[in-house]
C-alpha cells in the first residue's frame, strides 16, 4: 500500500500510513479507544467531536456498517487511525464499508500505522493535539499549523439538537426531559424501554422552560469537550436541583457535579473503551463499563456540596458516580446504555424510574 498520509503529534513525532475515507487536512486532539468491537457506534458518538481516534484493536471494519447501529446522525470524529482496515466485510447486515462511511462524511482515516507504539505514546505523554495531512508535509510545518490553530470551545453547541423533539413509547409511566449535549441514540431507547416518554431539548434550554413541560424527571446527556465550556447547562441544573429527580451520564455527570460547586479536571489520556472496571462503593460490586471521556470530577471538591461518591474507577481511583438522596439526583461517568456492550450497568435506568415514582 502507498504511504500517502502522515500523522504529526505535538511532540514532533511522525507516523506514516495509507489514507482511506476523506482526504482533508485536520488539526485536533488525539485519543485512543481500547474497544474490540463497536467501531460504528464509536464514529457516530458525538462525544468524539474534534478528536482523532486511535483504535488499539488491530483489525477494524470487518463487519461493515449497519443502518440500525448508528448512535447519532453525526459522524463525529475529526479522524480515524487504525492498524488494518477491512474494506471487504462479511456480515449479512452490512450496508456499506467503514471506509465508504468515512469518505461520504469527509472524515480522513489512516491505516498501516503502528498503533501499539502510538497508544503507548498517548498513554505515556498524554492526549495532545495532532495534525493529519499529506506525507510531504514536514514536522516543522505541521507543528506550526497545530500551534496556530485555535482550540474550539463550541463542540456541545455543534452537537446538540436545534429544537426540541419527542420519542414516545407504548404504555408510558413517566415523562422525561432530556438535555441534549450530544446524546447517543441508545440512551433514548433505554429510557423508552423504561416506559418513559422523552422530550429532547437543546443544551441551552432554560430551567423554566424545562419545568413548563411538566416532566417527572430530567436527564442530562453525554457530550464532547470541557464541561466548563457549557455554563448554560450548569446554570440550568443549579435552578433545577431539589425540584425534580435528575440523572446524568458522562458529560451530564460532570455538569451536574459542577452545578453543586464541585470541580473537574482533565485526565492525562482519558478513559475510552468497553472494558473499564468500576466499583459500587455501597455494595462493593464491580461493574465492567463502557467509557468515553477526557475529564473527571475532583473528589476533594465534593466536600460540602451535599453530593456523595457512589462509584470509583478500580484502575485509577477516579470518581465514577455521585448522588444526593435528599435532592433525588445521581450521575455516572460511564455509559450504562453502552452499545454494543457491556450490559452490567443497565440497572441505573431502573434507579431513575424508582426516583420518579417517589416524586
CATH number, position 72: 3.50.30.20
Write the CB contacts of 299 (distance below 8 Å, at least 6 apart in sequence).
309, 318, 319
Percentage of the chain exceeding pLDDT 90:
96
Q: For residue 211, count CB atoms less than 10 angstroms from its CB and return exposed for 0-12, middle for 13-18, buried for 19 or more.
A: middle
Domain-terminating residue out of 148, 178, 197: 148
Helix (H) or strand (E) holding 309: strand 308-313
187 and 144 in one domain? no
CB 247 within 8 A of CB 220: yes
In the set 41, 287, 320, 337, the catalytic residue is: 337
Cell numbers found for residue 302: 465534593
CATH number of 257's domain: 3.40.50.880
Domain extent at residue 121: 5-148
Q: For residue 215, count CB atoms less than 10 angstroms from its CB and return exposed for 0-12, middle for 13-18, buried for 19 or more.
A: buried
Strand partners, 289: 276
323 and 182 in one domain? yes
252 and 208 in one domain? yes
pLDDT of 157 > 90? The answer is yes
Tell me if residue 130 is catalytic. Answer: no
| Strand, coil or helix: 267 | strand
112 and 237 in one domain? no
**Per-residue DSSP letters for 177-213?**
EEEESS--HHHHHHHHHTTEEEEEEETT--HHHHHHT
Question: Distance (Å, rounded) from C-alpha 340 to C-alpha 42?
Answer: 10
58 and 171 in one domain? no
Domain-terminating residue out of 101, 117, 148: 148
In the set 250, 253, 271, 293, the catalytic residue is: 250
- Quick: pLDDT tens for 183-233: 999 999 999 999 999 999 999 999 999 999 999 999 999 999 999 999 999
Say how many domains are in the chain: 2
Residue 101's pLDDT band (cuts 50, 70, 90)? very high
pLDDT of 105 > 80? The answer is yes
Question: Distance (Å, rounded) from C-alpha 306 to C-alpha 326?
Answer: 9
Tell me if residue 28 is catalytic. Answer: no
Tell me if residue 250 is catalytic. Answer: yes
Domain-terminating residue out of 96, 125, 148: 148
In the set 271, 276, 311, 335, the catalytic residue is: 335
Amino acid at each position: 500500500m502507498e504511504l500517502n498520509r502522515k500523522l504529526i503529534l505535538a511532540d514532533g513525532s511522525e507516523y506514516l500510513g495509507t489514507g482511506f475515507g476523506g482526504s482533508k487536512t485536520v488539526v485536533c486532539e488525539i485519543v485512543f479507544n481500547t474497544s474490540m468491537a463497536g467501531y460504528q457506534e464509536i464514529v457516530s458518538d458525538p462525544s468524539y467531536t474534534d478528536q482523532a481516534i486511535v483504535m488499539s484493536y488491530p483489525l477494524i471494519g470487518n463487519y461493515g456498517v449497519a443502518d440500525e447501529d448508528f448512535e447519532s446522525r453525526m459522524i463525529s470524529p475529526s479522524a480515524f487511525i487504525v492498524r488494518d482496515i477491512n474494506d471487504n466485510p462479511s456480515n449479512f447486515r452490512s450496508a456499506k464499508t467503514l471506509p465508504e462511511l468515512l469518505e461520504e462524511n469527509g472524515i480522513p482515516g489512516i491505516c498501516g500505522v503502528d498503533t501499539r507504539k502510538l497508544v503507548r505514546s498517548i498513554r505515556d505523554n498524554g492526549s495532545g493535539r495532532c495534525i493529519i495531512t499529506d506525507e510531504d508535509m514536514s514536522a516543522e510545518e505541521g507543528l506550526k499549523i497545530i500551534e496556530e490553530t485555535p482550540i474550539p470551545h463550541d463542540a456541545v453547541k455543534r452537537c446538540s439538537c436545534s429544537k426540541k423533539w419527542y420519542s414516545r413509547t407504548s404504555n408510558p409511566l413517566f415523562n422525561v426531559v432530556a438535555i441534549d449535549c450530544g446524546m447517543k441514540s441508545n440512551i433514548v431507547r433505554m429510557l423508552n424501554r423504561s416506559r418513559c416518554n422523552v422530550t429532547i431539548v437543546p443544551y441551552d434550554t432554560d430551567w423554566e422552560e424545562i419545568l413548563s413541560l411538566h416532566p417527572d424527571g430530567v436527564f442530562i446527556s453525554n457530550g464532547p469537550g470541557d464541561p466548563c465550556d457549557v455554563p448554560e447547562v450548569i446554570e440550568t441544573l443549579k435552578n433545577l436541583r431539589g425540584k425534580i429527580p435528575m440523572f446524568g451520564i458522562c458529560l451530564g455527570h460532570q455538569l451536574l457535579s459542577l452545578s453543586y460547586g464541585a470541580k473537574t479536571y482533565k485526565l492525562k489520556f482519558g478513559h475510552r473503551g468497553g472494558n473499564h472496571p468500576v466499583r459500587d462503593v455501597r455494595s462493593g460490586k464491580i461493574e465492567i463499563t463502557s467509557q468515553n471521556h477526557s475529564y473527571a470530577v475532583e473528589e476533594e471538591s465534593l466536600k460540602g456540596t451535599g453530593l456523595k461518591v457512589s462509584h470509583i474507577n478500580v484502575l485509577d481511583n477516579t470518581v465514577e458516580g455521585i448522588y444526593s438522596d435528599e435532592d433525588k439526583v445521581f450521575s455516572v461517568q460511564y455509559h450504562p446504555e453502552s452499545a454494543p456492550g457491556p450490559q452490567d450497568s443497565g440497572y441505573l435506568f431502573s434507579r431513575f424510574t424508582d426516583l420518579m415514582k417517589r416524586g
